[in-house]
A and B are shown apart, each in its own frame.
Chain A
Amino acid sequence: MAATQVIRSEWTKIRSVASTVWTLSLAVIVTIALGMLISALSKNEFDNMSARDQLSFDPTFISFAGMSLGQLAMIVFGVLVVSNEYSTGMIRTSLAAVPQRGTFLFSKIAVATGLALAVGMATSFVTFFLGQAMLGEHRAQLGDPGVLRAVIGGGLYMTLIAMFSMGVAAMLRSPMLSLGILMPFFFLVSNILGNVSATEKIGRYLPDQAGSKIMQVVTPVDDSTPYGPWGGLGIMALWVVAALAGGYVLLKRRDA
């Protein structure tokens, strides 16, 4: 079984269902629109901020504010790509055609990841430029130290969050169960854990908290995070590897 055949097949699958288009479009639109809005609001608020907040003002990070919502659409994309095989019954047809389950799963993930990377990267750059335009005189330049890393990191962050969702969906199989766990987790639970001082130390090792460090250019005053931007992204990548490995092991063992 040539992997290129399976990759071509998975590309046909992903481009021939409507959910791919609407989840990714939603991720793009929400991330950009919300990023622009928050950037515009921040510009107006700047003069009212305390000196300390002005010192921590991170125009790059602010332009990515829309990602907190946009990532949810990316999660839906990742979950549906994998779990619609199960919810539709297609999985039996797919595995009869490609009985090498590792080849099947990783071809699917490779195709979906490639697409998420292309969309995520484009979104990140557009979000950055439009957000900076909104920020006016407080804007950052792409050439400023750390900014390019943050913008590329934004694209990687969106890709990794989609991959993590694919791994979770491969383990759980059900789209409802996967979304029911991932959406509230990334929208609420992770934020709460990361902001309550008692759980802060654990919270910052969660995939989204660690991964979003890559989009920060200005380190907040008295920030005690023990890892840097790439360290954070590495922690997120470890979560992704664990989720995908779990998905693979379960797929390999289970009856289809």
Chain B
Amino acid sequence: MIELEGLTKRYGEKVAVNNLTFTVRPGIVTGFLGPNGAGKSTTMRMMLGLDRPTAGDVRIDGKHYDRLKDPLKYIGALLDAKAMHGGRSAYNHLLCLAQSNGIAKKRVHEVLDTVGLTAVARKKAKGFSLGMGQRLGIAGALLGDPRILMFDEPVNGLDPEGIHWIRNLMKSLAAQGRTVFVSSHLMSEMALTAEHLVVIGQGRLLADTTMADFIARNSRSYVRIRTPQRERLLDVLYGAGITVVQTGSGTLEVDGGKPEHIGELAAQHQIVLHELSPQQASLEEAFMRLTAESVEYHAHSDAPPEEQAWGNDWRRS
């Protein structure tokens, strides 16, 4: 368990992390979400005692990080895939970490095997691709067989195979009952792996909720319909007591409707349909809306934002 209490970090006038209070609970994957520059990495560095908080407190299982005996056995972290000496072999990199925490040598071979780097164990890390460096960093995090794992943007810059591997790894770590705390700036990535969600923007806490709750509150499922016999279909649906939303681009949307039911109604009345598709509102948009006011680096474009049919409508509802 990781507890943050009023955690604050100021760099001169600039507040990077502003009075963060939340708890990372054991046994689940907690997603730590925020736009770039929201303070995720700074928060994680403070959790590991690398940066000193301006105010507030972080405790790992009730203790400050620097009070942990052999901390790699409590918490394993991947902050930056490049946080290693490129001239050192993968094996020696892991060996020096293991020795500093009294971890047996055979564990080095085990984690190299887990991340699939056994074949290049004696090669210097500077020759590694980004994906291999990331795997080596993860091997370091797993070294002490810790109950808590922390990954900062682990899928950044990885190829699809690497992303897939990391997702599965995080899920299996949580399935073993470990605490997994993973940061990302991509909601879609979190939706696939995290059970709990902590969202920050400009260093402030914006949401601390379960993923299921977040989806229920922020997503909307509906059926999208296109038909050349628009008026007739509207009558039929109205007659059946179904509420229809007409969108600007000429499609119809039925909130929470079943496509089977609507299709059968249309067939009974011999109405031609060009499209009948179930839709799910994207969580990415819900996340962007949540953090919209707190994005530090807005991309300024002169062109007005593209009209997004369902999105506009959804904001009204």
Give the chain A neighbours of B48 by CB distance below 8 A: 92, 95-96, 99
Chain A nearest CB, measured from B317 CB (Å): 46
0 or 1 for each of B121-148: is its CB under 8 Å from A? (1 = yes): 0000000000000000000100000000
Give the chain B neighbours of A51 by CB distance below 8 A: none
Residues of A1-51 contacting chain B, CB below 8 A: 1-2, 5-6, 8-10, 12-13, 16-19
B157: interface (CB < 8 Å): no
Main secondary structure of the interface of B (DSSP, over half): loop
Please determine whether B80 and A99 come into contact, CB atoms closer than 8 angstroms: no
A197: interface (CB < 8 Å): no
Please determine whether B86 and A5 come into contact, CB atoms closer than 8 angstroms: no
B159: interface (CB < 8 Å): no
0 or 1 for each of B244-257: is its CB under 8 Å from A? (1 = yes): 00000000000000
B99: interface (CB < 8 Å): yes
Give the chain B neighbours of A94 by CB distance below 8 A: 100
B82: interface (CB < 8 Å): yes
Select B101's contact among A5, A17, A92, A255, beta carbons within 8 Å: A5
Chain B nearest CB, measured from A252 CB (Å): 10
> With A5-B100, A5-B101, A5-B102 known to touch, is A99 a contact of B49 (CB < 8 Å)?
yes
0 or 1 for each of B70-88: is its CB under 8 Å from A? (1 = yes): 1110000101101111111
Say which one of A82-90, A112-120, A198-206, A241-249 lies at the interface with B.
A82-90
Please determine whether A17 and B102 come into contact, CB atoms closer than 8 angstroms: no
Please determine whether A13 and B80 come into contact, CB atoms closer than 8 angstroms: no
Please determine whether A12 and B83 come into contact, CB atoms closer than 8 angstroms: no
> With A17-B85, A89-B83 known to touch, is A2 a contact of B99 (CB < 8 Å)?
no
A181: interface (CB < 8 Å): no
Select A16's contact among B79, B96, B102, beta carbons within 8 Å: B96
A256: interface (CB < 8 Å): yes
Please determine whether A6 and B100 come into contact, CB atoms closer than 8 angstroms: yes
0 or 1 for each of B46-79: is its CB under 8 Å from A? (1 = yes): 0011111000000000000110111110000101
0 or 1 for each of A66-101: is its CB under 8 Å from B? (1 = yes): 000000000000000000110011111111111110
Residues of B79-119 contacting chain A, CB below 8 A: 79-80, 82-89, 92, 95-102
Give the chain A neighbours of B25 by CB distance below 8 A: none
Please determine whether A12 and B66 come into contact, CB atoms closer than 8 angstroms: no
Please determine whether B69 and A1 come into contact, CB atoms closer than 8 angstroms: yes
B45: interface (CB < 8 Å): yes
Number of A residues, CB within 8 Å of B: 30
> With A2-B102, A17-B88, A90-B83 known to touch, is A95 a contact of B96 (CB < 8 Å)?
no
Chain B nearest CB, measured from A133 CB (Å): 38
Separation of A12 and B68 alpha carbons in the complex (Å): 23
Select A255's contact among B45, B83, B86, B89, beta carbons within 8 Å: B45
Please determine whether A95 and B52 come into contact, CB atoms closer than 8 angstroms: no
Give the chain B neighbours of A93 by CB distance below 8 A: 79, 83-84, 97, 140
Please determine whether B100 and A98 come into contact, CB atoms closer than 8 angstroms: yes
Give the chain A neighbours of B89 by CB distance below 8 A: 16
Please determine whether A19 and B87 come into contact, CB atoms closer than 8 angstroms: yes
Chain A nearest CB, measured from B120 CB (Å): 15
> With A12-B92, A17-B85 known to touch, is A99 a contact of B71 (CB < 8 Å)?
yes
| A interface list, Cβ under 8 A from B | 1-2, 5-6, 8-10, 12-13, 16-19, 84-85, 88-100, 255-256
A-B CB contact pairs (8 Å), 18 listed:
A5-B99, A9-B97, A12-B96, A13-B85, A13-B92, A13-B96, A16-B88, A17-B85, A84-B85, A88-B84, A89-B82, A90-B85, A92-B50, A93-B79, A96-B72, A97-B97, A99-B65, A255-B45
Closest 7 CB pairs of A and B: A9-B100, A16-B92, A99-B66, A9-B99, A255-B51, A12-B96, A256-B50
